[in-house]
Copies of this chain bind each other. A is one copy, B any other.
């Protein structure tokens, strides 16, 4: 049986575009004599559709599109992820479903059993879990058709954020095995993190081996604001060997045979490095944010520091150097190297730049405030005015010329609130908001692997916000290599002060850091959406009260 996988990049709610893309791939599969073509989970509407699922019209559009697509399924069958209506009298209105289309009609609707509802997932918000198990019979084969999380029933301490033995009380595959399937197909909407692919392959291999069945996995690619889908669609044989694998972050169409036992060797794809994965995820995140909104041009404030340098290099790669405008916004506290390093980077990349000095604006604002501020010392207020005036100028350029402002905050500073709300926290997309400062350095080294693109001085000099004379980040913050390790234990590993101190960190330092993280929830509430590359990013996957009083 020849099966085509269609690892595609869908646009949430864009039914015309999504249905057309699906129909095109069906035509391609037919012309390649495939028996069956498989599309990812909720591909028809894009993932995650969020509260659009509560609109009747949205669901009607899904059902209309399925009917439209079915017409093209002659001489080929298709599996397409889309919501389905729960026709029972009780339960949530929808299922997260896989439509099996054969002979131009929907032959069967398979429903998702395990609904992830942690981190970035909210599937119980919309869907009723399945509890009736059925097999797809097709061309003499019996397919165990599962949807993403359905194969993750064994989630254990390693994978679950809740540290519990097993999160789920039911195993869809164990139920399906009673019906004697001869293969497993899993359609997925499984977002990227830099450890996700390794975890995923292990889970898929465990299922193939445990049930002694070949397994075809088809995932989305492309970015949906915060979430990046890396694809990585895979065919695994019943011995757990990877027989075929799609590239990461790219659309891919491939025809495979689940039952060709002659293939038992596969030159496995080179496992990309963490830096390569993150780099490509960020490129994908930027590009799709722009393309899917019909934006072309980006702008950002280039300080000469490493965060804005990395963001500019990524933007230039994602959007093309001619579509990126770097703006230098020096104040009286900016050092010469800041300007020189920024110009050097712009020259290395071939981007456009402008210089908009903020000193006059800063003095003008201080004049207005002089009666109110009389008798006070230069301090945080004055520092923040500078950062906010940069925001005013960048947003003015954005409004005037249609540039989208990219935010350049890194994860470390977002964590501890080392940034000015409505100042350097401005922007439509926080490109590196899920990249710790120490990882920012690593990514810059990765970019410089063949030649110096990010100026060496930008990498080697001490980080500074340059909002007062001779300021250094280390005046206010611990050294980043310590800060980032403590943040990782708290944010990713959800460790308490006591547990982190047991790793050898100073208690007052750990408490100070965790208090900063908790107290700055109010800033992150108003931050730009962050491209998620780690297993625990700020944004939809981490939900904390703003008004609270708790230190773990």
Chain A interfacial positions (CB closer than 8 Å to B): 11-15, 17, 46, 48-52, 54-58, 86, 89-94, 115, 117-118, 122, 124-126, 161-169, 223-225, 288-289, 292-293, 354, 356-358, 360-361, 364-365, 367-369, 372-373, 376, 379-382, 384-385, 388-389, 391-393, 395-397, 399-400, 421-422, 426, 428, 494, 496-499, 522, 525-529, 540, 542-550, 552
Contacts and interface: CB of A to CB of B under 8 A. Distances in A.
Residue among A224, A354, A388 with most chain B CB within 10 A: A388
A356 B370 CA distance: 10
A76 B369 CA distance: 60
Contacts of A293: 547
A324 B389 CA distance: 26
- For the complex of A and B, the 3 pairs showing the least CB-CB separation, nearest first, are A13-B550, A57-B496, A364-B364
Contacts of A91: 164, 166-169
Contacts of A361: 361, 364-365, 368
Contacts of A356: 368-369, 372
A292 B547 contact: yes
12 contacts: A12-B545, A13-B549, A14-B548, A54-B161, A55-B494, A90-B165, A92-B162, A223-B547, A358-B368, A365-B392, A382-B396, A388-B388
B369 A360 contact: no
Contacts of A57: 496-499, 552
Given A57-B552, A167-B91, A550-B58, A391 B422 contact: yes
A96 to B, nearest CB: 14
Contacts of A161: 54
A268 to B, nearest CB: 33
A445 B234 CA distance: 64
B428 A422 contact: no
Given A14-B549, A15-B550, A369-B393, 15 more contacts: A52-B545, A58-B550, A94-B162, A117-B117, A122-B122, A289-B547, A354-B372, A357-B368, A361-B368, A365-B393, A369-B396, A369-B397, A372-B397, A379-B399, A388-B388
B164 A548 contact: no
Nearest to A60: B496
A189 to B, nearest CB: 13
Contacts of A225: 545-547
Contacts of A543: 50-51, 122, 125, 540
A368 B124 CA distance: 52
A165 B396 contact: no
A126 B58 CA distance: 29
Contact of A496 (B56, B93, B529): B56
B529 A546 contact: yes
Contacts of A396: 365, 369, 373, 381-382, 384-385, 388
A385 B56 CA distance: 40
A20 to B, nearest CB: 13
A426 B525 CA distance: 12
Contacts of A117: 117, 122, 124-125
A360 B367 contact: yes
A255 to B, nearest CB: 30
Given A12-B545, A365-B361, A93 B163 contact: yes
Contact of A421 (B48, B55, B289, B395): B395
